[in-house]
Amino acid sequence: MNIGDKIRIVKCDVCPKVVGKIVSVAKITTIDGRGGVEVRFGRGRPQLGRPSVVGFDDVSLIED
């Protein structure tokens, strides 16, 4: 997984409304000692309650 890749969120305990959304990777990071990605949902500021970082286990890479 690289910066700019498109991923689909398959699980999110914080905000179930984002499950199934396709987003782009902004940054590779760590959350609580686990790997994760910082995501961009599109233009503008993120909606209230949407997470900006999602764990690797909760996303799947979209192949072009």
pTM: 0.80
Place of tokens 């760590």: 30
Tens digit of pLDDT for each residue in 24-61?
Answer: 999 999 877 888 999 887 776 667 778 888 889 999 99
Task: Answer left, alpha or beta for residue 26, where phi above 0 means left and psi between -120 and 50 means alpha.
Answer: alpha
How is 3-49 classified by DSSP, letter by letter? TT-EEEE---SS-GGGTT-EEEEEEEEEETTEEEEEEE-SSSPPPTT
